[in-house]
Chain A
Amino acid sequence: MTTAVLFDNVSRHFGAIRAVDRVNLDIAEGEFFAMLGPSGSGKTTCLRLMAGFEQPTGGHIEIFGETAEGVPPYRRSVNTVFQDYALFPHLSILDNVAYGLMVKGAGREERLKAAEDALAMVKLPGYGARRPGQLSGGQRQRVALARALVNKPKVLLLDEPLGALDLKLREQMQEELKSLQKSLGITFVFVTHDQGEALSMADRIAVFNEGRIQQLGRPEEVYNQPKTRFVADFVGSSNVLSTKLCQRLGVKASFASLRPEAIALAPPSNGALSLAGTIAGQSFLGATNRVVVDVDGARIAVASPAANAVPAIGSPVTISFAARDLHPMEDA
């Protein structure tokens, strides 16, 4: 399998701030790769390093086997969908989409034809004559996508492209992006702070915090077996069990993670582990109830199916879970 993007110990420091700190990455060709993390975690800087807007202060970057340091953005076969789309306000939609082909010297007819096709691909045929200001957020997002894809990039970088869209549109675009990526076979590198988005779309996820990759793996791995407390917290709000609770349960680790949906509000059956506590709070989330159980001062979240009744606040309860759902972690 060809490596599309390789980061070898890459750092990008801004004075004393280590935006990206010794990051190692290996993105395969045709992969849908997500970089997930809170703002300021270094994920966007990594994307900008791939695009060429930033230069690393240390380490080595390769794109399809070629050294990328010192190569300006306009000489990289990499295109970006910007967070706020960055459409040229003075150009029509068609000229926006044809821009990349124009600066590379394509003839007028050829590039306008290609731009029309790209607009049709993102389901905006016939919008070419309009200006960016006349389009809705979702439509602008599609234009930005068409403007990048018309260049047939080797790698497409997407910087929180769905961040400004409302929920319904976001879900629709997630599906479309995913199927577009499958049909085009282009490597997608996707930056997001939305863990649900990363989990549902990506082949692999890199979870960033404070300039470093905390965990890199397939969505199921990252979700079910968080390596650090940060990952457990950030990707789907896992419960982190303290050393004391771990000892009580007989787990040989200082910390362990436990998913809320792996816990049942019921006494243990055949070999399951259990803890006794009291109900401390409850909120209705639609498909599930989020129930908070107080176990000797530790608060443990339980996702209980909405059909099941929840005992009143303050009443004693026993929670149970399978031993295999308890994942030891490296650190706090």
Chain B
Amino acid sequence: MTIVAESIILPERRGSAGRLSDFFWRHPHVLLAALLGPPLLWLGIVYLGSLFALLLQSFFSIDDFSGLINYEFTLATYRQLLSETNLDIIIRTVTMATVVTLVSALIAFPIAYYAARYARGKWKVLFYLGVMLPLWSSYLVKIYAWKLILAKEGIFTWFFEKLNLLWLLDAWLVLPVVGGNSLSVSYTGTFIVFVYVWMPFMILPIQAALERVPLNLIEASSDLGGTPAQTFRYVLFPLALPGIVAGSIFTFSLTLGDYIIPQIIGSSRLFIGQAVYAQQGTAGNIPLAAAFTVVPIVIMGLYLWMAKRMGAFDAL
């Protein structure tokens, strides 16, 4: 009582920190500007600025004889981008990214659902560890490990042999496009490793979205006569969709841009990432490399626009 009763208004805090607190309290907008300024400058200039500088390169062209960049506005590079070989690369990459995303979502959903609905206490910790742990080890080490796992002499083949299912693996490998000499040099192998590496990026957003779905909505659907399948289709899935879309943005764009996995595991045919790498490095064709990077940006833009039109963000 006595401490409070001495004066109604406490004296100002001494020192510059105290004065600063008072100043910011009176001018909240200044505080907001001070907090947001540096990161916005970083995002605007360093991050987006360099990206636009790169994209600008795609409207220049390269002189075929001298190998020098011709700094004049032209769409020649985009004409080059749409040549048969390059279009092939784009279609291959987009198809792979789509399949990887769909399968990742299918595998991630039950895991995320379990984690959001049932896992408590130490099981929840175990879930987070299990999902995050692979992210802590080196990406390259994991991919080389997968190369050994998927090799003809690897554990995958051995496992199929033990199960007397080698004929199944062989039948798969003789298929056109997805097959190859062994899994480690086939698109199937590339696909498996992509799904493995990006899985946490799909699980975590779905889990976060499912965690925000109140249990009583599930009960309400069931109460109104919805079977579990109907409850999933009409309530759970629409409410989890923002999470699935968020996850798919990760898996889709990461697959579109990756150049290491298809280089180590898969056939020798190029993906977009490898094409960019080859164009800006060995070939020295910065404009074409820049044009290639425009492709994922445009595709992701279209994808988000479609997701929005389908109402994926209505529940946000």
Binding site for B on A (CB under 8 A): 51-53, 72-74, 78-80, 82, 84, 86-90, 99-100, 102-104, 147-148, 151
Contacts and interface: CB of A to CB of B under 8 A. Distances in A.
Contact of B315 (A51, A86, A89, A99): A89
Contact of B225 (A84, A86, A90, A103): A103
Given A90-B314, A103-B227, A82 B220 contact: yes
Interface string B189-209: 000000000000000000000
Contact of A151 (B225, B238, B239): B225
B221 to A, nearest CB: 7
Given A80-B223, A99-B224, A99-B226, 20 more contacts: A51-B219, A51-B223, A53-B223, A72-B222, A74-B226, A80-B219, A82-B220, A84-B216, A86-B216, A86-B217, A86-B219, A86-B220, A88-B221, A88-B234, A90-B238, A90-B311, A90-B314, A100-B225, A104-B225, A148-B224
11 contacts: A84-B214, A88-B235, A89-B315, A99-B224, A100-B224, A100-B225, A102-B234, A103-B224, A103-B227, A103-B234, A151-B224
A74 B314 contact: no
Given A53-B219, A103-B221, A103-B234, A86 B214 contact: yes
Contact of A147 (B222, B224, B226, B230): B224
A151 B220 CA distance: 13
B216 A90 contact: no
Give the interface centre of B217, B223, B230 by most chain A CB atoms within 10 Å: B223
Contacts of B314: 90
A88 B222 CA distance: 12
Interface string B35-77: 0000000000000000000000000000000000000000000
Nearest to B233: A103
A83 to B, nearest CB: 8
A82 B216 contact: yes
Contacts of B238: 90
A103 B226 contact: yes
A232 B106 CA distance: 57
Contacts of B226: 74, 99, 103
A73 B222 contact: yes
A102 B314 CA distance: 21
A243 to B, nearest CB: 44
B290 to A, nearest CB: 40
Given A88-B235, A90-B315, A99-B234, A74 B227 contact: yes
A191 to B, nearest CB: 14
